[in-house]
Structures are given as structure tokens and as C-alpha cells.
Structure 1
Amino acid sequence: MKKLLIFLGITLCLFAISCDQGFDELNTNPTAATTVDPAFLLNNAVINSSHVATTLQYDMSIVQQTVTPNSGVLTGANFNQDNRDYTQQNWNRYFPNVIRNTKTAINLATDKPARSNLVQMARIWQAHGFMVLTDSYGDIPYSEAGVGFIDGVTSPKYDAQEAIYKDIIKELTAASAALDASKPKEGADILYQGDVAKWKKLGYSLLLRAGMRLSKVDPALAQATVKAAFAGGVMDSNADNAVVRHNANYQNSIGSILNGTEANNYYLAGPFVNYLKSNNDPRLGAIAVRYVAAASGPQQNAANAKTDPSLQLGMPFGFDNSGIVGQATKDGLASFYAYSQIDRTRLGKQQAPMFLVTHGMNQLLLAEAAQRGWITGSAADYFKAGIRAHMEQMALYDAASAIPKAAIDTYIAANPLDPSKALEQINTQYWVASFLNGPESFANWRRSGFPKLTPNPFPGKDIKGNFINRLTYPNSEISVNSANVQAAISRMGADNLDTKVWWDK
């Protein structure tokens, strides 16, 4: 019996050792990824940089390109009211999906010399993401942002926008210069397929944008930054555009809204349509559709669809869902459903590309820089090139939006740059060229003051001034990162739509 017990003991011991030795293998998923290629993280950041509903509800409505007469869930800049379900969307899109992914990509690739170009690409795209965020909100988490999984920082401090912009300029300068075509190509890159020359142009184009953003608050730094960007080399053509391409799996969020439940609720705003129409701008025919005779949403159909520029009529500001009915009657329409809209079969389709940084916008910024005497070259020539590039860009949305060369030539000849009002002309054209890129339209309009817009006359509003100046922080930040939010508010000003960001002077 004693021998039997000894035998059983040894057997159980050996069994336990055997089980323990195989335990790790038994509880490890053999098909699970143990690491991820940082190129895929960068790609995820690029895809998620495509703008969401905020661009319609706030950015484009503030600068009077689009408007909705509807209240409730669609309340926003149409009534100058604070709807945090929408103001938080840029934040909730960019921090977890753009900043976190670029930070992680940089962290994973930094110690790998062969991935040096990927590090620089991620730094450049991260700078773009931070510009969108700080331009929208002002002071934001920057130095401690996106490192919750890397460093365990779950309540990041908020940095002052001045410090953020100065570091963005350093990042773009260093990353653009460090890109090296002799190093391995990052072929998995979905933006430029690893083309280092194009990434350099993007880096310097963003540096140009960052420099011009500071034209009023710090002219000396603005000039030095713009000169550096110009010397580095910005985009040469529309082939260099930074564009998010959508497909059936990754749909354009704005296109999904315009082709979904809100198809009948968003309209081109009167000031935008009137500007294009009064100047015989051929882009109106490329952008707009009007469902003439439409008395209801279902009647916004192909039979009523007209793209003729002479028939377009933008919806005026100052009306809610009931008030717009009477105004539509005064305008001779069957209903407000007959006002012009973004054509949801062309620029507003679900697979439409999203242009974030473009040759056309760059040329207009160079026109302003030349007008200010900051760079060499003719402001008039840059101005013409910017208009031409954006008009040619219309064909990249959809073949049906292509503008004939003759029409482009005619418009440019009829609209030369007038030195006495050059800044207004240049930045009004930038307003058009940044259409559908809401954060950039909103930022450059605040920075330049052009075009000169009449305040939205809707009587019920949350703002004390004439226009919304920034978006408000998410309620989730206020509740879970309260101390850091309050520190930002004490430095920047109240968390409302009136407070201006640092560079908005």
C-alpha cells in the first residue's frame, strides 16, 4: 500500500509538472497577432481623418456654406447654439483614431532604422491631426495625448495653443527634412504608397498652413515659417493632394449623412450660392443640385434634379423649420425642399474623396504670402494657379463635376487679382477651395476675416457675439479629466462658443 501511495504521488507530481509546462501553449491563441505593423496604424489614422457630421453642423454652417432649418438633434450653428453631441465629434474622432494611432506607430517604429521614413510620415500626419483639434477647441491635450496605452497617462494635461503651434512647427520642419528616399520604401502606405517626395511636399504644405495661421498673432514667426515651407517645397499639382479615398467599406461620412436619413435636411447656404452665382463661377454647376418643384422629400428625385447654375438658390439663414416655409413661398418655391443642395450623386456621394490638404489651397496661401512680401513670386500668378487647381479638382470628385478648360480660362480672365483688395479676394477664394473641408474653412475664415459675412439673424442663440469662435469641449472630458479642463479654461477663457483661440486676433 505504501509503495502504491508513493507511485501515485510521483505520478500526480509528474502530471502537474507536465500540465504546467504546457499551460502557456494551451492558453495562447496561435492565430492572434503579437504585434502590428505600424504602417497599418498610420493607415488607420489617415482613414479616420476624414471629417464627420460636425463639419456640416458647425464648421460649414458657421462660415455659411451649408445650413439646415431643423432644430432638435440638428441644432448647431444654424441657430448659434451649443449642441455638444456635435461639437464633441471632432474630438472623439481624432484623439482615439488619429492621435493614438500615430503616437503608437511612432513608438513602435522609432527604434527600427529601416522604418525611419514611417516615423517621419506619422509625425507629419500627427501634426495635421493636432492642428485640426487645436484649431477647433483651442487648448487641448498635446504633450501627454494618445499615450494611455504606452505610458499609462489617462488624464492628460492640456497644453496652451501657443506652445502647441510652436511644437507643431518644429515637428513638421524636422520630420519633413528627415524623410530619406534612400531608405526602405513604406509601400503599405495608403496615402502616397510610400512616395517620400510626396510626403515631403505634404510636410512643407502643412508647415505653410501652420505659418499662415499665425499671420496676425505672431507675424515674425509666421513669416519665418512660411519662408521655410516655401524653400522646402510644397505641392506642385493636384497629384500631390492629401486625400482620403472612400469605398464601400470606408464611406465618406458626409456622403453617408447626405444620402441617409438627413438627405432632405441639409442645404447650400444663401451666401455661398450667391457668391458663386453672382460671379458666374462654374464651380456652382459642379457642386449644386436643385430639385425644382419638389414639394416634399420624396420629390427630391432625378426627375426634378437640375444642376444648371442659373437655377440654383441657396437657403437663407435665420429660419427654423416653420419659418422657412413662409420664406420659401416668398422665394417662389413649392417648398423649402426646392432650395439648392450639395449634389449627393457627385460631391456628396458616399464614396466621394475627402480632400484635406491641396495644391489649390497651397497656391492661395502662397498668393497671400507673396502679397505680404514674405516670399518671391507673383501674388497674381499664385492666385490664378490656386483657382485653376481647385476647379480642376472638381473632376476628381466625379467625372460629371468636371469643369471644361475654356470655362476655367474665362473665369480666371474675368477675375484678376486686385492689389487694393487682394487679401479679401485670396481668402474668399480659399473659402471656396476649402469647401467640404469644414475645419479648414472655419479656421482660415477666423484667421483672415474673409469673406465678410453677415451674422446669422436667428433670434435664439447661445453666443454673445456675432459668430461662433470655437467648439466646446466634450462633457466626458469635463467629468473625467476635470482638473486639466479647468486649468485650460482658466488660461484660455470660458468653455463656450464665444471664446477665441490664441491665434484668432
Structure 2
Amino acid sequence: MKKDINKLILIFLGLTLTLGSCKKFGDTNIDPTRSANIDPAIQLSTVQLRFSGDLNVNERTSFLMTLPLVQQIAGSYSNRWGGIYFKNPGAMGALWNDSYPNDIVNIIDAVNRTNGVENKTNLNAMCRIMKVYVFDRLTDLYGDLPYSEAGLGVNAKFDKQQDVYDDFFKELSAASAQLNPSKDVVKGDLFYNGNIAAWKKFANSLHLRLAMRLVKVDPAKAQKEAQAAFDAGVFASNADICKLQHEDIRNPYEGAGQGNIKGNAVSASFFNGGAVPGRFTTVFIDQLRSTNDPRLKYMARYYIDNSASVPKDRTDITDQIVPLQGYVGVKPGSYIYDAPYLNAVTITLPGGTTVSATNNDEKVQLANFLLRFNAPFLHQTYAEVEFLLAEATVRFGATFGGSASAHYAKGLEAACKQLNLFPDGPSIPQSEIDQFIQANQLTPGREIELINNQMWVTLLLNGPEAYANWRRTGYPALTPAVGVSETGESTTIPRRFEYPYTEEEQNKANFDVALQRMGGVDSWNGRVWWDVAK
């Protein structure tokens, strides 16, 4: 993996100066410099690595916005945008402005140049799947967007999200069927190293995820597409998880020709600029504590707060603080210094060193193993798939390979065991997992709530997906963080990202058509197509 990433970085230097350079020329959906000589496999690798390695996007989209929006973290000043609801156009626009001239241009070009090429049918299928995946993160945050004409050298029209989703399902089904182990061997794939069977399962599992997005807006289509995805073959164990294993490198902001995308950018965002890392919220800790979740003692840790520290160098004081006060989180919408403000305590570390733990040290943090710069980014997990199948069974009936309770139990077990995929991550004893499952059975009438409360925990550090799943289900039942610390700019939890100003300026005619479909207002309190009010 390290060899593949390092080779990719060298080639990426040129890509940044060519395909990325279209940022400087008008509309960000236009590529005036597309080259026919770039290896499509390298374009696929580049898009894979940038997805979780681009600090500019992941810090703004996840750490500043979606992670606090879904109340998984709070406390840092940088969490105020999503946590207290202060509008930050730069944070909301970063994904759009970075994706279209880079990831979108690359992946569309790779798809187009491998279409119908006999010795690139598997590569073409993987690129098509990746194209759906990249576009889905965009459309689920913004709504309608340039899709059918994106990256083709025109001022692209905004496609309706419903039409985009229809094409997603067609593309995923076709790409999954196209994958063939007897055809071309794909090199440089950073997800599965060219494993065809694994890519099929990812395509189908992604298909299932997107099918369940529609449960409010079109239940019949949701059922049809979910069944098609399941029948085609989804993840069956933690060995199937789609992840990218990053290197132990602290990513800086990406600059032209630098290609600093090898480390986990979500992890880097917690420590960027010497900022206070976001703490677990009281809501998240209460969820773990109320269910006697065995992950609590592994995931939630106390550390001496040092703005110059990095995850593997932080001093762990959990064993000294927990007996004194248990696990103390930060209220959603609060800063770390807000109530309760805790008095300093003197503790003795192993070896006899005495230190003073201040208020900041006494607010519980994400464990080092979760935030290592070489932590994997989990794109889609087996646990998520089992929770989706559990919900599908509740909603649509027993045609998904087992009972809702059985799928739910498998999801709980898989979610606990996936922690050992992280460097220095724990292997939770099976006895603790079994006890957890036995104590948390599905309750009749509350199945959807319980399943998606657990999905929320499982999706920790995948902010955009956690935000999408919360909007489609309403769970967990979050209380808007209004007036807790400061008065923000919304009285409810915002439900989408507003379009960047650059799109209105450079693609105004098409932007205005999309704006009319939204009632003439581009508001973060509006809803994307599948997020209908219930």
C-alpha cells in the first residue's frame, strides 16, 4: 500500500498542475486542459486518495460542519460552524469547489476513456462505481447539482437529485454486472488492490445505502432497489469493508504541486493549527453509557491537553480521571470552557510523575487510535450494511436473508470488532460483545430508532454519511443546540449545504433554474429531494 501511495503522489504532482488548474479558468465544472495521456488507473487512485486525504475538504466538511451538526463532537472553536449554527460559506463550499475541478474531472475523464475498451472493462466498472460514490457525497449535501454535463467543457445544467439517483442505481447495477475476474487486472486500486469480488460487494452495498435514502420520499423504489442490491450480493463480514489505509503523515493543506494527501485528513483536522481537538458530546457519551456499550472505555479517553501534541504522543490520564468523575462530555453547542467548568485536579501518573489536570483535560476525547494519521478511513462497513438490512427487514419484510433482530445483532458485533482495524485499536473480548448484544435487543415499535442510534455510533468520523443517515431517519433524536453557548443563525439543525458563491457567479443561468426549484432561496434550512418532512 505504501509503495502504491508514494508512486501515486509523484504522478499526482502533474495532475494537480494540469487537471486541477481549471480552477483558474471560469466555471469549476469546465475542464479546458484535459489530457488524453493520463492513465485512468492513476486517475482512479487519485480520486480514492483525495476523498479522505484532502485536508481542505475534510476539515471543513467533517470537523467544522457535519461531525458537530450530528452532535458527535463539540468543544473546539472550529466546531461552532456546525455545532452552534454559524454560517461559514467557505466551509460549506469547500467540497464543491475542490471536487468539481479535481475529482469530478478526473473520474469522468477516466470513465469516458475506458468505455468500450476491451482490456479495461474492470477498470471502467471501478471508475463508474467511484463516480457514483464521489457524486453521492456531493448531492446528499447540496441537492440538485451538475451531473450529466459535468466535466464536459460546458456550463453544466443542474440535474434534479431524483434523476441523479435514478442514474446512480443504473450505474451501480451495470458496473457490478460488468466486473469479471477473467478480464483486466487493475493495478493501483487503493481500496481493494484490484479484487473483483470485493468491488462487486462494494457496488452492491453502496447500492443498498442509496436505496435506503429513499425510504421517506419513495418507499416502493427504496424497497425495489434495496432488494436488487441484496440479491446481487452485499458485504458479508468485516473482511469486506471498503476502507483506505492511510500513512502516518500529518497532512497540511494541499497546495499546487504538493500532493500532501497520504495521511488521514479527518484525523489531521482534529489537530490542525494547534486547535483544541473536538471532544465527545454528552449525547454521544450518554448513548454509549446507557446501553453499557463495551466500546466506551476504548473509544473515550482523557489526555493532557497540549496544542502541540499529535495522537500517538498524547499523555493518557484516563485511569486517573474516570474514577474521579466518570466520562464527562461537552454539551452540543458548547465550547470546552462552558459549564460544567471543572476545577483542576492533581493526579499521579505511572512512574510517580505528578501533573495537574485542568478543565480541558477533564473533558473526554476520541481515543488516540481513532485519530492516528495512519488510521483507515472507513468508506462503508459491514456493520452499516447489517444495520441497513435490519431496517429494510422492518420496513419491507423478511426478504433480506434473516430477521431484523439477527441482522441487528450482526451489526452490533461487527461494529465492535471493526475497532481492531485501526493501528493499536482494541480487540474487544467476545464475552463483552455477547453481553452487549444480549442486553440490547430490538424493542417492538422502536426498531428503526434503535437501529439508527447504533448506526450513528458506527458512522463516527464519517461525518457526511452520519449527517445523511440522521436526515433520512430522524435518529438519533437530536435537540437543536440553540442558545447553549452563543446564539447562532438557525433555530433548527440545518439540513443541507448552501451552494458556493462561485457557482452563482460563473454558472448563473443554470444556477437560477436550480434556485427556482428550491422556491427561490438557497438556504441551509431547506431540504434535499429525499429528505422530505414527515
Q: Normalization by structure 1: what TM-score?
A: 0.86
Residues 47 and 230 from structure 1, CA distance in 2 versus in 1: closer, same or farther, beyond 3 angstroms?
A: same
Amino acid at match of 1:366: L
- Paired position in structure 1 for 2:518: 492
1:289-310 Cα offsets, whole Å, 9 max, x none, are: 2137x6x757997445327877
Of the structure 1 ranges 266-275 and 423-432, higher mean CA displacement relative to structure 2 is found in 266-275
1:243-276 Cα offsets, whole Å, 9 max, x none, are: 1221136011122122332442421111011111
Could you tell me how far 1:481 is from its partner in structure 2?
A: 1.6
Could you tell me whether the CA contact under 8 Å between 1:328 and 1:334 is conserved in 2? no
Residues 309 and 217 from structure 1, CA distance in 2 versus in 1: closer, same or farther, beyond 3 angstroms?
A: farther
Of the structure 1 ranges 162-171 and 396-405, higher mean CA displacement relative to structure 2 is found in 396-405
1:103-152 Cα offsets, whole Å, 9 max, x none, are: 111122114111011111111111111111110111111111123xxxx2
Structure ID, larger Rg: 1
Q: Which residue among 308, 312, 322 is the counterpart of 2:327?
A: 312
Residues 418 and 488 from structure 1, CA distance in 2 versus in 1: closer, same or farther, beyond 3 angstroms?
A: same
Could you tell me whether the CA contact under 8 Å between 1:172 and 1:204 is conserved in 2? yes
Q: Normalization by structure 2: what TM-score?
A: 0.81
Could you tell me whether the CA contact under 8 Å between 1:285 and 1:401 is conserved in 2? no
Amino acid at match of 1:38: P
Q: Which residue among 483, 487, 498 is the counterpart of 1:472?
A: 498
- The reply on whether 1:336 has 2:360 as its aligned counterpart is yes
Shift >4 Å, 4+ stretches = 296-304, 307-310, 330-333
- Paired position in structure 2 for 1:35: 37
SS of the residue corresponding to residue 185 of structure 1 reads coil
- Paired position in structure 1 for 2:507: 481
Instruction: Report 1:318-467 matches (<5 A).
Output: 318-320=333-335, 324-329=337-342, 334-343=358-367, 345-374=368-397, 375-376=399-400, 377-458=402-483, 459-463=486-490, 465-467=491-493
Residues 451 and 309 from structure 1, CA distance in 2 versus in 1: closer, same or farther, beyond 3 angstroms?
A: farther
CA distance in 1, matches of 2:275, 2:317: 14
Amino acid at match of 2:264: N
Could you tell me whether the CA contact under 8 Å between 1:117 and 1:179 is conserved in 2? yes
- Paired position in structure 1 for 2:6: none
Of the structure 1 ranges 75-84 and 352-361, higher mean CA displacement relative to structure 2 is found in 75-84
Structure 2's unaligned 5+ residue stretches are 1-34, 250-260, 346-356
1:194-236 Cα offsets, whole Å, 9 max, x none, are: 1111111011101101110001100111000001001000011
SS of the residue corresponding to residue 78 of structure 1 reads helix
CA distance in 2, matches of 1:338, 1:475: 41
Residues 126 and 309 from structure 1, CA distance in 2 versus in 1: closer, same or farther, beyond 3 angstroms?
A: farther
Residues 394 and 184 from structure 1, CA distance in 2 versus in 1: closer, same or farther, beyond 3 angstroms?
A: same
Residues 34 and 474 from structure 1, CA distance in 2 versus in 1: closer, same or farther, beyond 3 angstroms?
A: closer
Of the structure 1 ranges 451-460 and 78-87, higher mean CA displacement relative to structure 2 is found in 451-460
Instruction: Report 1:73-472 matches (<5 A).
Output: 75-147=80-152, 152-153=153-154, 155-247=155-247, 248=249, 250-291=262-303, 297=307, 302-303=314-315, 305-306=317-318, 311-320=326-335, 324-329=337-342, 334-343=358-367, 345-374=368-397, 375-376=399-400, 377-458=402-483, 459-463=486-490, 465-472=491-498
Residues 114 and 289 from structure 1, CA distance in 2 versus in 1: closer, same or farther, beyond 3 angstroms?
A: same
Could you tell me whether the CA contact under 8 Å between 1:139 and 1:488 is conserved in 2? yes
CA distance in 2, matches of 1:386, 1:94: 32
CA distance in 2, matches of 1:224, 1:139: 23
Amino acid at match of 1:386: G
Amino acid at match of 1:501: V
- Paired position in structure 2 for 1:21: none
Could you tell me how far 1:52 is from its partner in structure 2?
A: 0.4
Could you tell me whether the CA contact under 8 Å between 1:69 and 1:78 is conserved in 2? no
Could you tell me whether the CA contact under 8 Å between 2:342 and 2:362 is conserved in 1? no
Amino acid at match of 2:232: G
Could you tell me how far 1:414 is from its partner in structure 2?
A: 1.0
Could you tell me how far 1:68 is from its partner in structure 2?
A: 3.0
CA distance in 2, matches of 1:173, 1:305: 50
CA distance in 2, matches of 1:299, 1:105: 40
CA distance in 2, matches of 1:331, 1:461: 30
Amino acid at match of 2:276: N
Could you tell me whether the CA contact under 8 Å between 2:417 and 2:427 is conserved in 1? yes
Of the structure 1 ranges 367-376 and 159-168, higher mean CA displacement relative to structure 2 is found in 367-376
Of the structure 1 ranges 303-312 and 75-84, higher mean CA displacement relative to structure 2 is found in 303-312
Could you tell me whether the CA contact under 8 Å between 1:284 and 1:309 is conserved in 2? no
Could you tell me whether the CA contact under 8 Å between 1:277 and 1:309 is conserved in 2? no
1:8-41 Cα offsets, whole Å, 9 max, x none, are: xxxxxxxxxxxxxxxxxxxxxxxxx972221111
Amino acid at match of 1:485: F
Could you tell me how far 1:95 is from its partner in structure 2?
A: 2.5
- Paired position in structure 2 for 1:62: 69
RMSD over aligned Cα atoms: 2.3
Could you tell me whether the CA contact under 8 Å between 2:343 and 2:359 is conserved in 1? no
Amino acid at match of 1:186: V
Could you tell me how far 1:359 is from its partner in structure 2?
A: 0.8
CA distance in 2, matches of 1:299, 1:211: 42
1:303-362 Cα offsets, whole Å, 9 max, x none, are: 4532787732111123357xx34532489983234211222x311111111001111100
Amino acid at match of 2:382: H
Q: Which residue among 46, 49, 58 is the counterpart of 1:52?
A: 58
Could you tell me whether the CA contact under 8 Å between 2:63 and 2:269 is conserved in 1? no
CA distance in 2, matches of 1:418, 1:274: 19
